[in-house]
Amino acid sequence: MHDDQHGTAIITAAGLLNALELAGKRIQDIKIVVNGAGAASVSCTKLYVKLGANPDNIIMLDSKGVLHKDRTDLNPIKKQFVTDKPVHTLEDAVKGADVFLGLSIGGVLKKEMLLTMADNPIVFALANPTPEIGYEEAMETRDDIIMATGRSDYPNQINNVLGFPYIFRGALDVRASEINDEMKLAASKALAELAKEPVPEEVNIAFAVQNLKFGREYIIPKPTDPRLIERVAPAVAKAAMETGIAKKPVEDWKKYLEELRRRMGLSNKLRRQMKATCIRTPKKVVLADAQDYKMLKAAEIVVNEKLAIPVLLGDEETIRRMIGENELELGNVEIIDNKSEREKDRRQQFAKILYEKRKRKGVTMTAAMDMVSHRNYFATMLVETGYADATLLGLTRNYPDSIIPALHTIGRRENNKTVSGMYIINTKEGPFFLSDCTVNMDPSTEELVDIILQTAEEVRRFMIEPRIALLSYSNFGSVKSVVNEKLMKVIEIMHRDYPDLIVDGEMQASMALDTDLRHELFPFTKLKDMKANTLIFPNLSSANIAHKLLMEIAKAEAIGPVLNGMKKPVHVLRIGSSVKEIVDMIMVAVMDAQKKKE
């Protein structure tokens, strides 16, 4: 099996399936012209026939013209594709053709020839580096054309890496004794189906586009799509099993998919767990910055993956225009325009509730009306009144501007001294939980105890037992200071009142993470020989600096900030968060809502 032969056949077949769907044509009815009679052309043509193409409707050409029945210079392979139709040149062959497949030389398909093709012509001009007809020339000549090339600088690149090594991966994993046509077709169909799904944001970023969408300029997936291995390899493996050539059939498909993700470095136990938890009971989450493309894209992803029920908050006309411009699949998602006449009664209801909460804090009824017209107040009131389960704020505003409405409308839990912000830092060794990174400037002894307990509760929600280190610049009183005396008092309270919680300090960050050194120097700690996974900082400066250094220098993956200690689920994004970060925080909000519901 050779990638330039069978690989090209598999990838072009995937593109052909989708191009035909867009053109509204059936493969058994179309007329196909194949320019080039080498190994790749032969493999493509044979696979198209397996897909359902009629051999009588296929015309193949070599450098001397059409492979015609009256030619005497054809070898046995070319004789398989002869025609008795009254055509001898490419110009004759393409008249009325639905599909042109070029695996020949650049510039042979003239625009005059392209004009004679059928409506919605499909042109795969794969000569490299110069296609059989230039992309710009073809698009200027026909506005109904669906075109692919072998080049990465144009849409619809026919790139064999879409199939390799995933085809071999699936074949080898089931110990297939051969790679048969059924396996090739399975790969083609898997690729064709993948192109119809919403595209991961990392693919959009890699190709510097706003939102790739199935259509005439996107009929096959991009080579950087991380889902390729988990779609193509299993499809090939299943086809091998179904045709009886698999010597080691897959018995657990869920486990197999996880093995594939691990091979590609895509395995992330924490995120998988979050997704599985959200899918079980999706919750209604208000997205307060829905007039931002990234928020809308994140909403599309959670809808597609059934992780949450998003509610889009903002100017309805703007949101619908952005959905249309970016071709996002959000047609059935609820949009609430908080400033519209339609929401007048709800604004008045919210203002009365807010006034009662804040009237002894200097808030008048007029001020309350003005406040609830703001998206952040309106969003949190939707949660406070039970209309929604959670809300996500802060994408386009700084943290204080977002957290204050949440504190005014919902507030912290009755027994909590404070609220706190936690970041989850994902590493190859597993997640680390850092707190408080966003709220408390210089927490008191009582507030630090509260922060530790809030964080421990949140860590357990991720099915992880917290191993907590209270961090400082000294180790167990080695440096005397007001800060360290406060931390020592915190540990005294924790050990006295919460003896079952694994927490110790104060200690340096290196001591919290270096188990051998800590065990050698301080064997008495409650952490014993365990590496800390939950790090509590003495103040906001140290916490904020630490997590941002990790994100920028170490390029660590972060989820957060997770807002702990609130009565109801409210979370505040880091300003300018990426689509992936927003999706993560929507999942955090759903899990928070599930916990509070229970």
Please give the Cα distance from 90 to 87 (Å, whole number). Answer: 8
Which of these CATH numbers, 3.40.50.720, 3.90.600.10, 3.30.70.890, 3.40.50.12280, describes 3-154? 3.40.50.720
Looking at per-residue pLDDT, the higher value among 266 and 105 belongs to 105
Please give the Cα distance from 110 to 102 (Å, whole number). Answer: 12
Q: Which of 293-307, 376-390, 554-568 has the lowest mean pLDDT?
A: 554-568
pLDDT at 475 over 90: yes
Closest to 469 in 3D by CA, of 430, 501, 498: 501
What's the pLDDT band for 267 if we cut at 50, 70, 90?
A: low
What's the pLDDT band for 526 if we cut at 50, 70, 90?
A: very high
| Section 509-520 average pLDDT | 93
Percent of the chain with pLDDT over 90: 81
Please give the Cα distance from 478 to 577 (Å, whole number). Answer: 40
Fold equal for 3-154 and 278-409: yes
pLDDT at 492 over 80: yes
pLDDT at 32 over 90: yes
* SS3 label, residue 435: strand
pLDDT at 432 over 90: yes
pLDDT for 265 equals 62
pLDDT at 275 over 90: no
pLDDT for 490 equals 97
CATH 3.40.50.10950 for domain 278-409, yes or no, is yes
Owner of token pair 């093709």: 117
Please give the Cα distance from 456 to 216 (Å, whole number). Answer: 51
Angle formed by the axes of helices 579-597 and 269-280, to 10°? 50
Looking at per-residue pLDDT, the higher value among 595 and 447 belongs to 447
pLDDT at 555 over 90: no
Please give the Cα distance from 149 to 133 (Å, whole number). Answer: 9
pLDDT at 264 over 90: no
Greatest Cα-to-Cα distance within the chain, rounded to the nearest angstrom? 100
Greatest mean pLDDT among 259-268, 339-348, 550-559 lies in 339-348
pLDDT for 166 equals 92
Cβ atoms of residues 51 and 13 within 8 Å: yes
pLDDT for 164 equals 82
pLDDT at 263 over 70: yes
pLDDT at 266 over 60: no
Q: Which of 178-192, 379-393, 495-509, 546-560 has the lowest mean pLDDT?
A: 546-560
Architecture of the structural domain at 420-565: 3-Layer(aba) Sandwich (3.40)
pLDDT at 210 over 90: no
Return the domain boundaries, the chain: 3-154, 166-265, 278-409, 420-565
Residue 544 per-residue DSSP state: H
pLDDT at 550 over 90: no
pLDDT for 201 equals 81
pLDDT at 563 over 70: yes
User: If 0-12 CB within 10 Å is exposed, 13-18 middle and 19+ buried, where does residue 28 land?
Assistant: exposed
Specify the amino acid at residue 147: M
As given in the structure block, the two tokens for residue 419 are 């609220």
User: If 0-12 CB within 10 Å is exposed, 13-18 middle and 19+ buried, where does residue 152 land?
Assistant: exposed
Backbone angles phi, psi at 231, to 5 degrees: -105, -50
pLDDT for 511 equals 95
Greatest mean pLDDT among 222-231, 425-434, 492-501 lies in 492-501
- Other beta carbons within 10 Å of 22: 14
pLDDT for 378 equals 98
| Section 155-167 average pLDDT | 90
| Section 5-27 average pLDDT | 96
Angle formed by the axes of helices 8-23 and 39-51, to 10°? 50
| Chain mean pLDDT for the chain | 93
